[in-house]
Amino acid sequence: MAVTQLIRYFAAQLNNEGFSMPVKSEYYQPELTLPDLLNRAVNSPNNLFIGYIDEDGALKCQPYRDLSDQAKLIAAGLSRLGLKQGDKVIIATRYNQETVELLWGCFLMGIVPTILQPPMTFSGYNPSVVKLMDVYHQMEEPFVFMSPEVQDSGDLPAAKVLHRGQLDCTGGFPIPHLEADDLAFIQFSSGSTGNPKGIMLSHGNLMVNMDAIRIGLDLHYPDHVGNWMPLFHDMGLIGYHLTPLYCVTFQYQVETIDFIMKPGLWLNMMSRQKITISGCTNFGLALVLRYLKRSKPNPDWDFSAMKALLNGAEPISVKIMQDFTDALGLSGFRPEAMMPVYGMAEVTLAISFTPLMNPSVLTAFDATLLDRENRARPVDPSDPSARILSEVGVALNDIDIRIMDERDLPVTDGYSGHIQLRGGGITKGYYNKPDATAAAFCGDWLRTGDIGFFYDGHLYISGRHKDIIFKNGRNYFANDLETMACSVEGISYGKVCFAANTDRATGYDRVIAFVAGVPDQKAIATFHQMRGLLRSNLGITVDELVLIKSNEIPKTSSGKLQRYKLMQRYLAGEFENRRITADTL
């Protein structure tokens, strides 16, 4: 392990015990703001650029100097529009390059942007439209930038919807006076367990966390960073656009929709451009594996340059991670390059990393003890009670982590509880939501809403508090039930959701499985098989199966299941004709 990683590792260990060690890179300066980063990249002697990959795999290079020139034109246009430092703007554009240029035009003016998923249409039910309208009102009706091809603006006032070509970019713009504590960006939460909240990030928040990421990845010139994740998600924007720029390195961007349609674009990019750092959600890994089953691997692929493929943003499936590593291993991908990580937007992005180029630590725990007593006891992976979890490493050098019980009292290592955090990258709160902000903090510690524990110095995430299912005095995590249900023929990853509600008549909790892709004629047999499997392995009884369509499974921009939305529809009676109860078996 390199000296840099050793320093970071031991610093993280101290952080977990409540100490801090200020390990910073030569890039870190506490007074830096985002415009300073762009200037630094422009003045680099290394001819750096952003590479945009189109749907056919063609590469278009934009030097950072050109990005700066385009951003200055946009800043002038924003100024002529009447906007000033501190004003808010929504960016919901289709293509990465137009998003990036508009973003930096805002940063140069001191305007506070947020990036949202662009609606392709405003007709019918469209989650991206619902979120856009929610955020539009939360941000007090700012200008919304969309792509020219989006002709319909729905309920948005036409005067508030613009595309870049409508800006008058003549003249200059006032150079703002920015400080580290100034609000730089609002990242709206994906809404996996509730309505989106605007996470306020200052320039200082961004600098602290990006520097910690740099140390954790040993990220520097001439590293090549590759990305397919959307820029409206914190992992895509901060992890794979802002952080490479902070570290003055090359970056390559594949459009998210193109990756979903053609996962090979990402694989081709990683091989051709000798990508050293990239990332993927569990959803993305599964998508690539399905693609590789349909298409033979390219014999010319070479992934040996990769030193870190960050695996995070949603629960980590050990099996999918291992299958992916095995599949790409035939083309030079090293298993130790797979890096399970943990992060969240409230912390800017990153919380903990597996130490660089170290094999992932996979541990089998007694699921019964973990559920009943919150105790993490290792067992043999072949044990029927085993739940295999991947660690998510150790805290980055700007983060302290503690595990607390329901009364906000600390628990000992080896016991699970509520994960709380503090550090310089953590938001000061949610935009215009003082009650939500107050509820999110315990003193100066952020309540993450995640459940986890330390074991042998490594952090494990075992679930989300709001996705806990209570049944017969025991706690179950929905993602654990979903993982096991996928072993039933006809049920696949991403097509099953578990939730529960309290029966008003009996007062007992009912466990409900929402499943897509199962034909009506096979529904009863599938339900019977799934019930038997979960009862014998986990001791939980599934009370009801609800047949749904694949497009009815609500997900966030990073692929997280929004189980609460299905329950909202269920409780509203929308699935009455698609329910199969245990009484029918």
Domain at 415, CATH number: 2.30.38.10
Give residue 542's domain range: 472-584
Main-chain dihedrals φ then ψ at residue 549, nearest 5 degrees: -95, 155
Lowest mean pLDDT among 391-395, 469-473, 477-481: 469-473
Distance CA 292, CA 289 (A): 5
Average pLDDT over every residue of 459-480:
79
SS3 184: strand
How far apart, in whole angstroms, are the C-alpha atoms of residue 430 and residue 439? 11
571 token code pair: 């409780």
Is residue 295, in this structure, part of any structural domain at all? no
Q: Which residues pair with 139 in a beta bridge?
A: none
In-domain check, residue 507: yes
Please indicate, yes or no, whether residues 517 and 450 belong to a single structural domain of this protein: no
Comparing 223 with 559, the larger pLDDT belongs to 223
Which positions ≥6 away from 485 have C-beta within 8 Å? 491, 496, 498, 513, 515, 530, 533, 534
Going by their DSSP bridges, the two strands 394-395 and 350-353 should be labelled as antiparallel
Count the Cβ atoms, other than its own, within 10 Å of residue 579: 13
Residue 244 maps to a domain: no
Question: Of the given ranges (65-69, 434-438, 441-445, 488-492), which has the lowest mean pLDDT?
Answer: 488-492
Through-space distance between the first and last CA atoms of the chain, rounded to whole angstroms:
57
Kindly indicate the confidence band of residue 13, based on its pLDDT and cuts at 50, 70 and 90. very low
Q: How do strand 183-188 and strand 544-548 relate by DSSP bridges?
A: unpaired
Pairing outcome for strands 509-516 and 544-548? parallel
Residue 317 lies in a domain: no
Backbone phi and psi for residue 499, each to the nearest 5 degrees, phi listed first: -155, 175
Q: Residue 507, by phi and psi: left (phi above 0), alpha (psi -120 to 50) or beta?
A: left
Residues 402 and 455 in one domain: yes
- Residue 210 located in a structural domain: no
Domains of the chain: total: 3
Residue 136 lies in a domain: yes
Which segments of 183-281 does DSSP mark as H helices, in order? Answer: 203-217, 234, 243-246, 256-261, 264-272
The CATH number assigned to the domain holding 478 equals 3.30.300.30
Pair 450, 462: CB distance under 8 Å: no
Q: Would you call 460 helix, strand, or coil by DSSP?
A: strand
In the predicted structure, residue 2 carries a pLDDT above the cut 50: no
- Separation of alpha carbons 5 and 73, rounded Å: 41
* Confidence class for position 232, pLDDT limits 50, 70, 90: very high
pTM of the predicted model as reported, rounded to 2 decimal places:
0.84
Query: pLDDT at position 483, please?
Result: 87
Same domain, 435 and 450: yes
**Is residue 10 very low, low, confident or very high in pLDDT (cuts 50, 70, 90)?**
very low
Identity of the amino acid at 179 = E
Phi and psi at 364, nearest 5°, equal -95, 125
Residue 343 placed within a domain: no
Cα separation, 477 vs 468, in Å, equals: 5
Q: Assign 192 a pLDDT band (cuts: 50, 70, 90).
A: low
pLDDT at 384: 81
Residue 512: pLDDT above 60? yes
Do the beta carbons of residue 88 and residue 111 sit within 8 Å? Answer: yes
In which band, very low, low, confident or very high, does the pLDDT at 26 lie, cut at 50, 70 and 90? low
457 shares its domain with 556: no
| Span 575-580, average pLDDT | 91
Domain presence at residue 418: yes
Q: Once rounded to an integer, what is the mean pLDDT over residues 432-436?
A: 95
Contacts of 49 (CB under 8 A, 6+ apart): 61, 62, 63, 64, 250
Angle at 495 between CA 494 and CA 501, to 5 degrees: 100
Residues 527 and 453 in one domain: no
Same domain, 415 and 477: no
User: Which of 32-41, 86-95, 116-125, 520-529 is least confident?
Assistant: 116-125
> What is the rounded distance in angstroms from the CA atom of residue 86 to the CA atom of residue 91?
16
**Any idea of the CA torsion for 543, 504, 196, 349, to the nearest 10 degrees?**
-50
pLDDT at 317 over 90: no
Q: What is the DSSP letter of 239?
A: I
49-53: long-range contacts, CB 8 A cutoff, minimum separation 24: 49/250, 50/97, 50/100, 50/241, 50/251, 50/252, 50/253, 51/250, 51/251, 51/252, 51/253, 51/273, 52/96, 52/97, 52/252, 52/253, 53/252, 53/253, 53/254, 53/255, 53/258, 53/265, 53/269
Final residue before a domain boundary, out of 465, 500, 524: 465
- Whether residues 374 and 447 share a domain: the answer is yes
578 and 481 together in one domain: yes
Query: What tens digit of pLDDT does each residue of 29-41 get?
Result: 888 999 999 999 9
Q: Does the pLDDT at position 359 exceed 60?
A: yes
Q: Does residue 63 have a cis peptide bond before it, meaning omega lies within 30 degrees of 0? A: no
Q: CB neighbours of 91 closer than 8 A, spacing ≥ 6?
A: 99, 102, 103, 106, 113, 114, 115, 116, 145
Most confident listed range (114-128, 143-157, 163-177):
163-177
pLDDT of residue 22: 40
* pLDDT over 80 (residue 441): yes
Nearest to 460 by CA among 371, 363, 335, 380: 363
**CB neighbourhood size of 463 (10 A):** 21
Res. 5: pLDDT tops 60: no
C-beta atoms surrounding 336 within 10 Å: 16
Mean residue pLDDT of the chain comes to 89
Confidence band, pLDDT 50/70/90 cuts, at residue 124: low
Residues 458 and 502 in one domain: no
Specify the pLDDT at position 504: 57
Residues 446 and 478 both lie in one domain:
no
Q: Which whole number is the average pLDDT over 502-516?
A: 78
Split at pLDDT 50, 70, 90, the class of 522 is very high
- pLDDT band of residue 125 (cuts 50, 70, 90) is low
Contact assessment for residue 227 and residue 277, using Cβ atoms and an 8 Å cutoff = no
**In the listed set 445, 465, 485, which residue is the last one of a domain according to the structure?**
465
Residue 563 has pLDDT above 60, yes or no: yes
**Domain final position from 465, 497, 523:** 465
pLDDT mean over 68-73: 98
Reply yes or no on whether the pLDDT at 372 is more than 80: no
Cα–Cα dist 432/198, whole Å? 8
Q: What is the pLDDT of residue 505?
A: 60
- Tell me which amino acid residue 44 is: S
Is the pLDDT at 226 greater than 50, yes or no?
A: yes
Q: What CATH number corresponds to the domain at position 155? A: 3.40.50.980
* In a shared domain, residues 443 and 483: no
Q: Do 72 and 163 belong to one domain?
A: yes
Q: DSSP label at 229?
A: S
Looking at the DSSP bridge assignments, the partners of residue 250 are 224
pLDDT of residue 476: 83
Q: Taking Cα atoms as reference points, which of 395, 341, 389, 340 lies closest to residue 366?
A: 389
Lowest mean pLDDT among 253-267, 317-331, 505-519: 505-519
